[in-house]
């Protein structure tokens, strides 16, 4: 089967945040013998298209009316009237702004004709299955994804990702107590990967104080790179995130991160890598997902 991933509806820097996920999914699908292509500009009339949620009302309606075959990847927590209880970049008490509402309207339009859903958040699956077949996507292990070149890390802490008000407060607090490398804008992927490998403890603070899920790409990168990670606590956990320690209830995240550095992070990372390889092969995950999506 030919799977064509398209990010044509995703704006600006959002496209860059999806490439890691695509590489994971491509690895699993190609291991199963499928053809996989990608475009950030077009859909493929003769393929089964895979699009990421992130629509305006107009682009959602355009896809719905296109007549093309497509499934949708839902990356965010669905709260019933939108995603993530509001826009993460907002620092207001009520983050449910106009962009939050427009995103939900766009999703509803596009979702109405979706053939299936792949969700990065397990709690979404039951609701999505009321519309079409749906499956929880995990980012598992593939030899295709292991970095070819490693190096001895020289940086104690770093963070690469979208800066939100909540994350900025955490990073600034940690900076007062330790060496931290972070950027206010997203790095090109090659520079991001170099920084990841050069860091002993990669930081994974939540986007907001009420964030629901750990970042599967950030945890997966730490596992594949055999690097330490300071994972923030979330209500939902996954098989992947359970391979590493997360910040305990009642403990400040900054204190937890510093504690990770003082521990034998290298032995923990090596042990987690071996468990990742044996317990979560990406090929097996995609085999389950295709079956649950009625694509097997």
Task: Please compute the mean of the pLDDT values over residues 283-287 and round it to a whole number.
Answer: 97
User: What does the alpha-carbon distance between residue 195 and residue 109 come to, in Å, rounded to a whole number?
Assistant: 39
- 13 pLDDT band, cuts 50/70/90, is low
Q: Mean pLDDT check: name the lowest of 10-19, 202-211, 271-280.
A: 10-19
Q: Chain-wide mean pLDDT for the chain? A: 94
What are 115-147's pLDDT values in tens digits? 999 999 999 999 999 999 999 999 999 999 999
What are 222-273's pLDDT values in tens digits? 999 999 999 999 999 999 999 999 999 999 999 999 999 999 999 999 999 9
Please check whether residues 110 and 167 belong to one and the same domain: no
Task: Please compute the mean of the pLDDT values over residues 58-66 and round it to a whole number.
Answer: 95
User: What does the alpha-carbon distance between residue 40 and residue 26 come to, in Å, rounded to a whole number?
Assistant: 15
Q: Containing H/E element for 126?
A: helix 125-128
Strand order in the sheet with 2-6: 35-39, 2-6, 48-52, 70-74, 117-119, 134-136
Please check whether residues 135 and 115 belong to one and the same domain: yes
Q: How many residues are present in the chain?
A: 296
Q: In a 3-state reduction of DSSP, which class is residue 35?
A: strand
User: What does the alpha-carbon distance between residue 68 and residue 208 come to, in Å, rounded to a whole number?
Assistant: 36
Please check whether residues 188 and 73 belong to one and the same domain: no
Task: Please compute the mean of the pLDDT values over residues 211-231 and round it to a whole number.
Answer: 96
Q: What range does the domain containing 52 cover? A: 2-140+281-292
User: What does the alpha-carbon distance between residue 201 and residue 198 come to, in Å, rounded to a whole number?
Assistant: 9
Burial (0-12, 13-18, 19+ Cβ within 10 Å), 150: exposed
Please check whether residues 286 and 249 belong to one and the same domain: no
CATH number for the domain including 248?
Answer: 3.40.50.2000
Please check whether residues 167 and 71 belong to one and the same domain: no
Q: Containing H/E element for 287?
A: helix 282-292
- 274 pLDDT band, cuts 50/70/90, is very high
**Nearest to residue 201, comparing CAs of 256, 251, 277, 128?**
256
Output 142 or 17, whichever has higher pLDDT.
142
Q: Mean pLDDT check: name the lowest of 62-66, 81-85, 140-144, 202-206.
A: 81-85
Please check whether residues 192 and 243 belong to one and the same domain: yes
Please check whether residues 107 and 179 belong to one and the same domain: no
Q: Which residues pair with 5 in a beta bridge?
A: 38, 50
Please check whether residues 115 and 240 belong to one and the same domain: no
Please check whether residues 237 and 196 belong to one and the same domain: yes
- 16 pLDDT band, cuts 50/70/90, is confident
The structural domain count of the chain equals: 2
CATH number for the domain including 40?
Answer: 3.40.50
Please check whether residues 147 and 275 belong to one and the same domain: yes
Q: Is the pLDDT of residue 12 over 70?
A: no
What are 77-114's pLDDT values in tens digits? 999 999 988 888 888 888 888 988 999 999 999 999 99
Please check whether residues 119 and 226 belong to one and the same domain: no
Please check whether residues 223 and 179 belong to one and the same domain: yes
């Amino acid at each position: 089967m030919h799977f064509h991933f398209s990010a044509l509806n995703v704006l600006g820097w959002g496209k860059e945040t999806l490439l890691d996920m695509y590489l994971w999914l491509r690895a699993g699908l190609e291991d199963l013998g499928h053809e996989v292509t990608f475009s950030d500009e077009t859909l493929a009339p003769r393929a089964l298209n895979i699009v990421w949620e992130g629509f305006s009302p107009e682009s959602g309606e355009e896809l719905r009316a296109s007549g093309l075959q497509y499934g949708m990847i839902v990356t965010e927590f669905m709260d019933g009237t939108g995603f993530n209880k509001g826009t993460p970049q907002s620092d207001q008490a009520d983050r449910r702004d106009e962009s939050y509402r427009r995103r939900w309207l766009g999703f509803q339009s596009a979702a109405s004709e979706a053939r299936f859903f792949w969700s990065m958040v397990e709690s979404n699956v039951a609701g999505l299955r009321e519309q079409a077949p749906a499956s929880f996507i995990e980012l598992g292990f593939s030899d295709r994804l292991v970095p070819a070149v490693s190096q001895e890390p020289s940086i104690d802490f770093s963070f690469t990702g979208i800066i939100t008000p909540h994350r900025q407060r955490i990073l600034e607090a940690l900076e007062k107590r330790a060496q931290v490398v972070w950027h206010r804008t997203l790095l090109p992927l090659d520079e991001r990967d170099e920084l990841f490998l050069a860091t002993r403890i990669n930081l994974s603070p939540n986007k907001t104080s009420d964030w629901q899920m750990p970042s599967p790409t950030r945890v997966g990168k730490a596992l594949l790179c055999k690097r330490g990670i300071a994972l923030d606590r979330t209500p939902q956990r996954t098989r992947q995130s359970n391979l590493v320690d997360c910040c305990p209830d009642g403990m400040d995240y900054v204190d937890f991160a510093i504690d990770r550095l003082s521990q034998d992070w290298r032995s923990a990372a090596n042990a987690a890598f071996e468990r990742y390889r044996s317990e979560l092969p990406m090929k097996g995950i995609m085999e389950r997902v295709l079956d649950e999506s009625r694509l097997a």
